[in-house]
Amino acid sequence: MLTVGQALDSAARRYPDKAALIFGEQQRTYREVVQRANQMARLLARLGVKPGDRVALLLPNGLAMAEAYFALAKAGAVGVPLNLRWQPGEILYAIQDAEVSLALADRELAPIVGPAAGHMPVFYTGGYREDPARDWDALAEAEPSAPPEVLVRESDPWVIVYTSGTTGRPKGAVRSHFSNLIIALSLVSELGITHEDVGFAILPMFHVNSMWFVTLSLAVGATCVIYPHRAFHPQHVIEVMNRHRVTYSMFVPSLLTFLADAVEQGKIDPQALRVMMTSSAPLDATLRDRILRGFPRVALYDVYGSTEYGAVTLIRHQLGGVLGSVGYPVIGQEVRILDDNRQPVPPGTVGELFVRGPSLMTEYWRKPDATREAFTEDGFLSVGDMGYVTEDGLLYLVDRKQDMIIVAGENVYPTEVENVLLSHPAVALAAVVGVPDPRRGERVAAMVVLREGHALDVSELEALTRRELADYKRPYAIRVVDALPLGPAGKVVRRLAREQWLALEGSG
């Protein structure tokens, strides 16, 4: 069977004394990662966590987060990684929705976890001296390191990853051991990554990108370096890459600009890096060519996927090559473009993108209607992206799912932000749109129409969003306007609202 725990054990048998994980000055060999995962899995069982039970993870990048993923895999439990930028109310919603039975958190996050602590026992990593009974590290070290006696099947769920909600509340995408490992193994095959490589997990590990990245690295026997700083800074990225001679990583396009600057200024060794992946926003020709000329050994890939799909397509960029396409389907993936009646459309015709393959999620957690709506009868899944396929099979996206905004790699759904604005008694209508930003890709902007007879200080709405929303979801500016563009059903047309915002910015 193909389970995450078995993949780790297999790599450890081949490379027991090799560095598996590096985080700052800390390092774990493959043997040590296995032993630690076994201890944590046994501790989960002793605490009453049964196979299939959900365990919330509120952990920053580090060894604890990586080991927790593998421990859950061995225990047959289901991880629920939570975005550390969420507000307490957002965290509480996911914990309640997933019916979490236990939470594992970093001790520095105790104030954030506080409101949810009454719903399940919480244990803390990082030396929780305030209460030895909640000190996860000490409790785990006291457990035997022999493998737990738990039967885990490849079809069993491994994680539930919450997506930003198109209708105001996130949905939990249930992902099995098999589907996650297939993502890792298909990318290993496509990109040519081996046990001789050194990977660098930069993005937050509560995101699927880094979760898959760590899985990929340890499944193949590579060394995975985890970004060691709580606050992100491009200079730190360059220092780590130079120190460990990183050979592959995933970068958001904004970071690629810093890397192009660094190599042109002689601040980074251009010979070590071999594979660069990017996603979330398209590359322009100038940046692509700067990277390819500055790093002569690099194969630069654009990878398209989602929490629900996994990796769907990829394209290797070439000097003077195709731009705008997200490439060809990854091994094992089938892509269809369908019309509103879910019928195939001819090449070059825009329609809704559907995907079928072994890396798809199983379902939306306890949302059968949403699951049925997302899947076709023959197993193709859509998350609402619009695009077209050329005669030679290249996929082009023309619109992101619904009206999603991507802020420095973080997904923001306008409806969620609009619902917070509409909760203010003075607001009658709200429109949230994404506007271009040279550093983040996009940023969030909002316009509101007031109820008749009401007045409002915008600072009230700013305070409301600070209380209710993660920082990346908050509008950088909120404007009060007389009217918003409405469609036939009386709903705001966001495409036109965005044009309205840009016109206001241009005139202001």
Question: Which stretch, 52-61, 80-89, 410-419, 435-444, has highest mean pLDDT?
Answer: 52-61
Q: Which of 160, 183, 206 is where one domain is finished?
A: 183
* 102-106 vs 54-58, strand pairing mode: parallel
Helix (H, G, I), strand (E, B) or coil at 227: coil
Largest CA distance in the chain: 73
Q: Does 150 reside within a domain?
A: yes
167 pLDDT exceeds 60? no
Residues in contact with 397: Cβ distance below 8 Å, sequence separation at least 6, in sequence order: 304, 326, 353, 385, 386, 387
Domain boundary among 183, 204, 225: 183
How confident is the model over 293-317, as pLDDT tens digits? 999 999 999 999 999 999 999 999 9
How many helical (H) and strand (E) elements, i.e. helices and strands, does the chain have? 15, 25
> What is the token pair recorded at 304?
């398209």
Higher pLDDT, 75 or 165: 75
Question: Does residue 251 sit within a domain?
Answer: no
Same domain flag for 418 and 393: no
Residue where one domain finishes, among candidates 377, 398, 419: 398
Residue 105 is part of which domain span? 4-183
| Cα separation, 80 vs 56, whole angstroms | 5
Q: Which residue has the tokens 């251009």?
A: 270
Indicate if 351 and 445 belong to the same structural domain: no
365 vs 371: CA distance, rounded Å: 9
The helix/strand/coil state of 81 is strand
| Residues 56 and 130 reside in one and the same domain | yes
Query: Residue 174: which of 190, 193, 158 has the closest Cα?
Result: 158
Whether 318 has a pLDDT exceeding 70, the answer reads yes
Residue 257 lies in a domain: no
Residues 6+ apart with CB under 8 A from 34: 8, 9, 12, 70
The total domain count for the chain is: 3
Residue 324, pLDDT score = 85
Contact between residue 387 and residue 355 where contact means Cβ atoms under 8 Å apart: no
Predicted local confidence at residue 166, as pLDDT: 47
412 and 438 in a common domain:
yes
DSSP for 272-291, written as a single string = T--EEEE-SSPPPHHHHHHH
Separation of alpha carbons 383 and 375, rounded Å: 9
Count the Cβ atoms, other than its own, within 10 Å of residue 195: 13
pTM assigned to the model: 0.84
Strands 351-356 vs 334-338: parallel, antiparallel or unpaired: antiparallel
292, part of any domain: yes
Looking at the structure, tell me whether residues 314 and 455 fall in a common domain: no
CATH number, domain with residue 332: 2.30.38.10
Residue 114 is assigned to a structural domain of this protein: yes
In a domain, residue 199? The reply is no
Question: Dihedral of CA 332/337/340/341: which sign?
Answer: negative
CATH number of residue 424's parent domain: 3.30.300.30
Q: Over the stretch 60-109, which tens digit does the pLDDT of each residue have?
A: 999 999 999 999 999 999 999 999 988 888 899 999 999 999 999 999 98
The CATH number given to whatever domain includes residue 143 is: 3.40.50.12780
Q: Are residues 452 and 378 in the same domain?
A: no
Q: Which residue has the tokens 């006696």?
A: 149
Mean pLDDT of the chain: 92
Q: Which of 349, 485, 470 is nearest to 411 (CA)?
A: 470
Are 372 and 429 found together in one domain? Answer: no
Does any domain span residue 237?
A: no
Residues 484 and 354 in one domain: no
The residues, any chain, with a CB within 8 Å of residue 502's CB and separated by 6 or more, are 435
Same structural domain, 73 and 166? yes
pLDDT at 139 over 60: yes
pLDDT of residue 236: 93
CA–CA distances in Å: residue 144 to residues 21, 41, 104, 315: 21, 10, 20, 46
The verdict on 389 and 481 lying in the same domain is: no
Q: What is the CA radius of gyration of the chain?
A: 23
- CA distances 131 to 36, 135, 156, 212, 294, Å, are 22, 7, 34, 33, 52
Residues 410 and 392 in one domain: no
Q: How far apart are alpha carbons 144 and 429 in whole angstroms?
A: 59
333 in a domain, yes or no? yes
Q: Which two tokens stand for residue 341?
A: 């009646």
Shared domain for 178 and 288, answered yes or no, is: no
